[in-house]
Structure formats: C-alpha cells, structure tokens
C-alpha cells in the first residue's frame, strides 16, 4: 500500500506491544531485578549482556551496543525493513497499518521508482526470452554450456542474452517516450548524438537483484575473449554498486541461516559455486570490497571469507579488504582470507576438486584476519631483532587501533604485546601516531603454484601485503567512452564483423562506548525522568547561546518530552527514527542504554536528588557558556594586560564571570 506510516500509529502500536513478551518469544529472557537479561542474539557471548527494560520498553546490549524498541528488535532479529517490521507488529496487535497521503511530488517520485523496477524486471524477462528464442541464441547457449552451467542454474539466476543489434531492447520496451526516458534513467539505454541505443549488445546477461529480489541492474559478459569483457549497469536511482552484492538475494533464499558468505570476483564464480551446492558465494559489482559491502554481509551472517587469486592483483585486493574490514569487526564477527593457486578461480577449482574439498579449503586453509594482519606486516622482519620488533609495533598498532572497542581489539593488542614485548600503554601511544611511510618492497620472484591433484587439497599461498593497491581501488572504468552507433545503426544487421564494444565497467552500528558530555548526560537523565522536563526547559532558556554540538539533541528532546511527559523510551526511539532517521535513533538508544544502571537513572533516588543532578549538569553548561563568552576578553587581557581593557570591557568581563554562580 502506498503512503507513509503515520508516526502516531507507530507510537500507539509501541504502547500496545510488550517488548519483553515479544523478545522472550524469540530469545529466552531471565528476570534480573526489575529488568530482563539474556545472551545477546546479535553477537556471540557466554555471559549475558543483553538487557530488556519492561518499564521503558527498550533493549540494550552492553557487549555490542545494539539498542532499540520493539520495531528495532524485529528489524535486527528477523532482518526486516521498517515497514515490514511495523506490519508484523501490527498483525500481532490485531491492527491494520494506515498510510498517510503523500504529496504530489512524493507520489511522483515513488511512482517513478516503481516504474524503474517494473521496466528492469521486463528487461530481465526480455533477455531470458532471447536466450530461448533468438536466432543467434545458440552462440550464447554454447558459451554457457562450455562454462559447465546447467539449465537449472541458468534459470535459477535468471541468466539471459542480449543479442547483436543496437535497438532490440529499445524496440521491445521503449514503446512510449516515457518508457524510453525511464529505460535511459535505469541505464538500459544510452542517449548519444540525438539517438537512443541499447547499452547491452551481444552479451550473456546476469540480472542483479537487491535483497528483496527486485532487479536493479545487469552485468553483461562478451561471448569471446574480446575487450571489454564485462559491462555493468551504471549508477541509477535504484542501483548503487557500492552497496549491493551479487548473489546475496539467492543466498538468502537458499539458507535459513547463511553459514558464511564467500566474496569472489565475478558472476560466473557465484553461479558455478551455487551449481555445486555452495550457495553462499557473492560478488561485488565492479568495485573493490567496501565497508558498506561488509556491513550488508554481516546483517545475514557472522562469517565473511574473501577469496583471491595468489597474484599481485589478489594481494592488492586483499590489502584493501583487510583495511575496510577493520572498522566493522565487532565482537562475534569473523573475516578470513582464502588465496587460490595461480590460474585458478572458484569456478574452475570447484569443478576440479568438488564442493566437499572446496569447503575443506575454506575450513582449513582460509587465513584469519588476525593471522593475516600480523603475517603481512611482519613479512621480511626478523622478530628476534629489537629494531624489527619496533617496526612491527609501528606497523600493526595503528591497524589494530581501527578495530571497534571490544574484546577482539583487546585480544589483538595482547597478541601484539606478546610478539613485540611492549606493554599495552606503549602500543596505544604508537597506535595514535600517524603511520610512517613505508619504502616500496624490493621485487622478488614468486614460485609458480603447484599443479592441482584431484585427490588432494591444493596448497594455498598467502602472499604478503604490499602498498601498491591504489590502481585497484581507484580504477574507474566509467571513464571509458562508448562511441555509440553509426548514423545508420538501425540498418545494421547481425553477422557484420565490425561491432563497437562497450566500455569496461567490470573490473555499524556505532561504537558501544558513549561519551557523556553534560548535554548528553542531561538527555539521558530526562529519558528516565520526564518529570524533570519543565526544569530542563527553564534551564535551557539561559544557555541558548552556548556553542555545544550536543545542545540541539537536548533541546529537541526537551521539546518532545514537554508535549508527551508520559512517553516511554521505546516510543521516544520510534519518534526519533521517524523525525531524525535511523542513525539518530541508534545514537539516542545507546545513550539510554549506557545510562541504564547509573545512579541517577535508578528508581530508588529521590526526586530531590534527581532534580539536584539536573541542576548540577546545567551549572556545568553555564560555566561552559561563561568560558565561551569571556574567552575573547580573557585572551586580550592575557596578551595585552588587564590595563589594555577599556572600562566597558572590564565591566563586561565582571558581569560574565558573575554568571558562574
């Protein structure tokens, strides 16, 4: 149903749903005092750190920082988007979700996106039909059979064929001017020198689906060894290559709980692995693996394995993957690196050794992130020598420092301390220094990979990292130029030898520790004790000029609570998501969670003590304002002496300092 979900309905729904009952039906909770606890369902742990407050109707994990209300729990636990989570809760409550009427502009934008999805789905159907019925289909069929693909796997992934010609898709789907415009916006047509023509021509076509199964773009491969080999859809309103993983939708359909995701290079690798029963292969779409790719992957599994060739390009890609993985390595997540022998890729290798031995490779030969990090930075170092241990500490400490705060980072620093003999304090100091530039490694001959033995697991080569990966990361095939069709392209016939080729286009949650500034501490206190909102509003009027980055949050919260003094934290989170977005909701949820067991939040504190706590907080804020206002005059007095101030300035300074009371 079109339209936005009214915020009032979400508030009412959260008021009807008991978050303890909701979570307990999925994660067994244990009563601990006035709250409930369990081992966190969002990361691995043995000691319960997941807390649910029935009074405030929200949850928080002190281990990984997960927080939210009933809607947020369903989104995280059952991997639903916001509307689907609301629909699910409404079904439990026996309610029907109403929808607000969108503005004409919003309706127009929504309809345009819907039309793009529709035309892209029709494009996929068109390419599938061409593979079955076009006169030149046999060439594509022979190619797919030559790559060892079965009809079932081709059908499962919706693989199709874009036949030769400049306007096959244009003639089929570009019926109206609006259709032509939408097809161009979707990246299926190219507008050049007054003519429209098909982007994909004489290629095997791989539809790219988002996590909901909607076609959002395509990848096309030539049928021979000509260049460019691969062509991807360009960036469009529905396709962002840095945020999607080819094969992830199919993996979700294959597994209730995805055991791992194996990140490979291309479409054929994903499809070949699936044909052999390994349905957890995914591929990036013409870009190096990025942090958003990993965040997406970790929504559906706790283990990601990067699969690379053992050559220089594989080393560069591995270093890039290591660096983007560090910031998202929350406790309970696993990243490993699998290096294949030269000349092999997952497609060829799984056909030679079979799926069982391929999984043995992953299990026994994939290198953990911690081992890969230490081995790569200690390459060519003799750790028996003091200067080499010092070098290791300078290289490894800044990398480990990029890990999220938690048990894993602490263990990594302990491991580095063991290898270098330095204590943690010294390593932290080194971690916060900017890294020194490394000299380029001397070239060295690398031995050829051994031949594969059909009855043995091939040895894996874990190459050292180097610094020369900029060409991999910065390669932008979009700069290549498609010269477009000749003026008489509509007379061009299949079978002509000279055909232009398209450009090559295929080549957190926030940290759990919350800093309590005075403004954020006041906000946390008000979340638990809304009866203080009137006092807070009066105090805020006296510090409106304070330049504090956290003050807008406090002001917005006071305004909201003043209108709804009996609201729960769960309802505050629901409002914050609708009004300020999911990042702001997560921020205020963590603020409330970290403050859950502090003395000012406890119910056994008297109202007078809570009021005094708030008064003390605002006293600190007033002192900040005094410092802010007096700073120019104080600096002038320091530099030029008190006599340099005019009588008016001295009086002004006295008045400012008097406000400290």
Most confidently predicted of 267-276, 428-437, 649-658: 267-276
pLDDT digits (tens, 9 = 90+) for 558-611: 888 888 777 788 888 888 887 787 778 887 887 777 655 444 444 445 777 778
The per-residue pLDDT for 456 is 44
CA–CA distance from 211 to each of 81, 120, 296, 470, 565 (Å)?
10, 15, 10, 30, 39
Q: What is the pLDDT of residues 148-189, one digit of tens each?
A: 999 999 999 999 999 999 999 999 999 999 999 999 999 999
Nearest CA to 260 out of 354, 358, 166, 382 is that of 358
Looking at the predicted structure, is the pLDDT value of residue 659 above 80?
no
Give the tens place of pLDDT for each residue, 39-49: 998 887 888 88
In the predicted model, is pLDDT for residue 51 greater than 80?
A: yes
In angstroms, the CA 402 to CA 355 distance is 36
Residue 107 in this model has a pLDDT that exceeds 70: no
User: How confident is the model at residue 149, as a pLDDT?
Assistant: 93
Tokens of 230: 């691969």
Residue listed under structure tokens 């907080």: 617
**Segment of 226-230, 329-333, 346-350, 380-384 carrying the highest mean pLDDT:** 346-350
Closest CA to 15 of 72, 66, 89, 83: 89
Q: What is the dihedral of CA 564, 569, 575, 578, to 10 degrees?
A: 180
Beta strands in 288-417 (DSSP E): 303-309, 334-340, 367-368
Tokens standing for residue 582:
């999911």
CB 246 within 8 A of CB 267: yes
Q: What is the pLDDT of residue 474?
A: 34
Output the furthest CA–CA distance in the chain (Å, rounded). Answer: 96
Tens of pLDDT along 512-549?
445 668 888 888 888 888 888 888 888 888 888 888 88
Distances in Å between the alpha carbon of 248 and those of 61, 262, 324? 28, 10, 19
Locate all alpha helices (DSSP H) within 134-266, ordered by sequence. 137-146, 151-156, 168-173, 177-185, 248-254
CATH match for 108-232 among 3.30.70.60, 3.90.980.10, 3.40.640.10, 3.40.1710.10? 3.90.980.10
Instruction: Domain ranges for the chain, please list them.
Output: 7-93, 108-232, 255-432, 518-659
Q: For the residues 81-106, what does the mean pLDDT come to?
A: 80
The answer on pLDDT for 85 being more than 80 is yes
- Token reading at 537: 């509003």
Choose the weakest-confidence range: 24-33, 166-175, 505-514. Answer: 505-514
Q: Which CATH number fits domain 7-93: 3.30.56.10, 3.90.580.10, 1.10.390.10, 2.40.50.140?
A: 3.90.580.10
Residues in the chain: 661
Question: Would you identify the CATH topology of the domain 518-659?
Answer: DNAb Helicase; Chain A (1.10.860)
**Token pair recorded at residue 166:** 């400049």
**Closest residue by Cα to residue 47 from 331, 403, 369, 415:** 331
CATH number corresponding to 255-432? 3.40.1360.10
* pLDDT tens per residue across span 235-270: 999 899 888 999 999 998 888 789 999 999 889 999
Separation between Cα atoms, residue 285 and residue 275, nearest integer Å: 20
In 172-299, where do the E strands start and end?
189-192, 195-198, 203-209, 215-221, 230-232, 261-264, 281-283
User: What whole-number percentage of the chain has pLDDT above 70?
Assistant: 78
């Amino acid at each position: 149903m079109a339209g936005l979900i009214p915020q009032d309905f979400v508030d009412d729904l959260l008021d009807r749903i008991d978050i303890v009952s909701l979570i307990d039906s999925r994660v067994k909770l244990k009563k601990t005092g006035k709250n409930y606890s369990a081992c966190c369902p969002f990361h691995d742990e043995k000691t319960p750190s997941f807390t649910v407050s029935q009074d405030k109707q929200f949850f928080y994990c002190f281990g990984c920082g997960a927080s939210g209300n009933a809607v947020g729990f369903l989104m995280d636990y059952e991997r639903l988007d916001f509307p689907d989570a609301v629909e699910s809760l409404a079904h439990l409550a026996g309610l029907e979700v109403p929808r607000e009427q969108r503005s004409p502009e919003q309706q127009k934008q929504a309809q345009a996106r819907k039309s793009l999805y529709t035309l892209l789905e029709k494009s996929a159907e068109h390419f599938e039909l061409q593979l079955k019925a076009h006169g030149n289909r046999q060439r594509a069929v022979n190619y797919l059979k030559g790559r060892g693909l079965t009809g079932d796997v081709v059908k499962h992934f919706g693989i199709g064929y874009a036949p030769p010609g400049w306007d096959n898709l244009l003639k089929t789907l570009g019926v109206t001017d609006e259709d032509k415009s939408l097809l161009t916006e979707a990246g299926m047509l190219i507008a050049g020198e007054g003519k429209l023509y098909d982007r994909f021509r004489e290629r095997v076509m791989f539809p790219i689906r988002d996590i909901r199964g909607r076609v959002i773009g395509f990848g096309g491969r030539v049928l021979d060894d000509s260049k460019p080999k691969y062509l991807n859809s360009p960036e469009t309103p529905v396709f962002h290559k840095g945020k999607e993983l080819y094969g992830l939708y199919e993996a979700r359909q294959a597994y209730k709980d995805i055991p791992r995701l194996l990140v490979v290079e291309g479409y054929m690798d994903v499809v070949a692995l699936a044909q052999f029963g390994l349905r957890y292969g995914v591929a990036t779409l013409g870009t190096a693996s990025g942090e958003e790719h990993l965040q997406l992957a970790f929504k559906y599994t706790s283990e990601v394995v990067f699969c690379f060739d053992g050559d220089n390009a594989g080393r560069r890609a591995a270093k890039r993957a290591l660096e983007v993985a560090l910031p998202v390595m929350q406790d309970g997540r696993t990243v490993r690196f699998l290096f294949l022998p030269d000349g092999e890729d997952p497609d060829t290798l799984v056909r030679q050794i079979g799926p069982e031995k391929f999984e043995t490779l992953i299990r026994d030969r994939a290198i953990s992130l911690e081992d890969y990090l230490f081995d790569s930075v200690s390459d060519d170092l003799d750790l028996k020598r003091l200067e080499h241990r010092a070098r290791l500490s300078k290289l490894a400490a800044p990398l480990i420092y990029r890990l999220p705060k938690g048990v894993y980072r602490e263990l990594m620093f302990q491991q580095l301390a063991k290898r270098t003999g330095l204590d943690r304090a010294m390593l932290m100091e080194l971690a916060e220094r900017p890294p020194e530039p490394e000299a380029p490694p001397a070239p060295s001959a690398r031995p050829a990979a051994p031949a594969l033995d059909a009855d043995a697991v091939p040895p894996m080569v874990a190459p050292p990292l180097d610094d020369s990966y900029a060409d991999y990361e910065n390669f932008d095939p979009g700069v290549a130029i498609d010269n477009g069709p000749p003026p008489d392209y509509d007379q061009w016939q299949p079978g002509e030898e000279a055909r232009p080729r398209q450009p090559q286009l295929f080549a957190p949650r926030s940290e759990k520790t919350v800093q309590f500034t005075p403004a954020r501490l006041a906000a946390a206190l008000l979340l638990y004790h809304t009866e203080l909102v009137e006092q807070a509003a009066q105090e805020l009027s006296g510090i409106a000029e304070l330049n504090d980055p956290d003050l807008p949050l406090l002001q917005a919260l006071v305004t909201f609570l003043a209108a709804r003094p009996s609201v729960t934290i769960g309802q505050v989170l629901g409002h914050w998501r609708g009004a300020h977005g999911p990042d702001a909701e997560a921020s205020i949820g963590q603020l409330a969670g970290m403050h859950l067991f502090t003395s000012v939040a406890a119910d056994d504190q008297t109202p007078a003590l809570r009021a005094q706590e708030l008064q003390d907080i605002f006293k600190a804020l007033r002192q900040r304002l005094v410092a802010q206002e007096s700073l120019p005059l104080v600096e002038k007095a320091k530099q030029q002496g008190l006599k340099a101030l005019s009588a008016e300035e001295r009086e002004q300074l006295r008045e400012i300092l008097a406000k400290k009371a």
